[in-house]
Structure 1
Amino acid sequence: GYLTGSGLAEYQQSGAVCGIALPPGLREASKLSEPIFTPAIKAELGEHDENVSAGRIAQLHGRAVAKSLTDLTLLIYRKAAEIAAERGIILADTKFEFGALPGHYVHGDTLNDAAASFVLGDEVITPDSSRFWPADAWVEGQVTPSFDKQYVRDWLTGPQSGWDRHGDAKPPALPPEVVQRTSERYLEAYRILTGEPLI
């Protein structure tokens, strides 16, 4: 729903995200006129998932499966974004992981072929899988403070960690204060979204 992170980097290079052309002039945290479906393919353990186009999903699994995944993703995103907005939070983007029950998945190009029993797995609308921004802090063109794991990413990739993410060394252990500040953000997101504290 908003342009940031790897989507922004891709847009700045090509004017598109996952094969979807976007209007010129968008910046950090720009709100898109409509949410877009930006699929990725699972990578080997420890590797980053590969962003692809919906067309690539259709090549791999059939047009009907690609359409079903697009429709389901956008339906869930829109509902979650609506609930978050009522509570003063912007759901900038999120990820869902879908699978199919064994014996139910059929590759195909017709809706009958794609009558798979999709399973929505993993975490859904959590700070680990979503970017939550306080609506009152959002300014187009600026990095928005968030309730997600971006705080950890910023520390790891900043000079204070001493870690070269392009090297072979494992990332360093997180200092207690980074763990504490991240936990506080997650708990605050929970409190705002649900109306009650978790702990």
Structure 2
Amino acid sequence: MPASVQKYRDQLENRCLLVKDLKVFPIEAIVRGYITGSAWSEYKKKKSMCDIPLPDGLLESQSFEKPFYTPSTKAEIGSHDENIHPDKVVEIVGEKFAHDIAETSVKLYSKARKYACDKGIIIADTKFEFGTDSDGNLFLADEVLTPDSSRFWLSSNYKVGEKQDSLDKQYLRDYLLSIGFDKKTSIRIPENIVQKISEKYAEIYEMLTEGDPGFI
């Protein structure tokens, strides 16, 4: 904390955050270690993922030999993100930032994946967001490795060739698909669905942090 804040440490410690003003790139930096979700849907149609050609014979939920960086646009509220080829990121943020975002995203995912694996959790995919400060330095921004931004599977239940039971917002996605949600009209989520999502989020939190309230 800056000196102007440190003198109030006895009042502010554990009660405040130091934030930075960033210009956030309009890119969702998605990293996939397994083929599932929209990637699986595209593969079934075109044998590709974000227009990246993939080999024949892949099965749903199968792991890749190495993680794939598969970005998407970050749409305005009311619109939908669009998966794009990594090369298109260069047109949006420039070559240097495109390279740094891709490299950093894969490193972050790989480190988190190993940590989670030791806890009995598979991180199938996740997304990161990045921004720059006034000096042009790259920063990781927004939420990181949460059930809203990641797809978590139990290692003990994992089976190649089928859809996995997720401890993340996939449960809500499945519910909305089941009622034919048009992605435009505001709706109220039933209390039993809210409760189930809360239970899944609490379960993944406990597994990843082992209940440590100071874990960040």
Give the TM-score band, short-chain normalised. Answer: 0.7 to 0.9
For 1:26-175, list aligned pairs within 5 A. 26-104=58-136, 117-158=137-178, 161=179, 163-165=180-182, 170-175=185-190
**Aligned partners of 1:137, 1:12: CA distance in 2, in Å?**
24
Shift of 1:171: 4.4
Shift of 1:4: 0.6
**Aligned partners of 2:99, 2:56: CA distance in 1, in Å?**
26
For residues 197 and 186 of structure 1, do their structure 2 counterparts lie closer, same or farther at Cα, with a shift above 3 Å needed? farther
Q: Which amino acid aligns with 1:2?
A: Y
Name the residue aligned to 2:211. 196
Q: Alignment identity in percent? A: 40
Q: 1:99·1:119 contact (CA, 8 Å) conserved in 2?
A: yes
Q: 2:195 is matched with which residue: 146, 166, 180?
A: 180
Deviates more, 1:64-73 or 1:179-188: 64-73
Name the residue aligned to 2:56. 24
Q: CA RMSD in A?
A: 1.5
Gaps of 5+ in 2: 1-32
1:136-182 deviations in Å (ceiling 9; x for gaps): 11111111101001111111111xx3x4426x5x1431111111110
**Aligned partners of 1:119, 1:64: CA distance in 2, in Å?**
14
Q: Which amino acid aligns with 1:30?
A: Q
Q: Secondary structure at the match of 2:57?
A: coil
Q: Which amino acid aligns with 1:123?
A: E
Q: Which amino acid aligns with 2:194?
A: V
**Aligned partners of 1:185, 1:73: CA distance in 2, in Å?**
25
**Aligned partners of 1:15, 1:171: CA distance in 2, in Å?**
35
Q: Which amino acid aligns with 1:66?
A: A
TM-score when normalising by structure 2? 0.79
TM-score when normalising by structure 1? 0.85
Shift of 1:60: 2.5
| Higher relative contact order (CA closer than 8 Å, sequence separation 6+) | 2
Q: Secondary structure at the match of 1:43?
A: coil
For residues 197 and 184 of structure 1, do their structure 2 counterparts lie closer, same or farther at Cα, with a shift above 3 Å needed? farther
Shift of 1:11: 1.5
Q: Secondary structure at the match of 2:140?
A: strand
**Aligned partners of 1:144, 1:27: CA distance in 2, in Å?**
12
Name the residue aligned to 1:4. 36
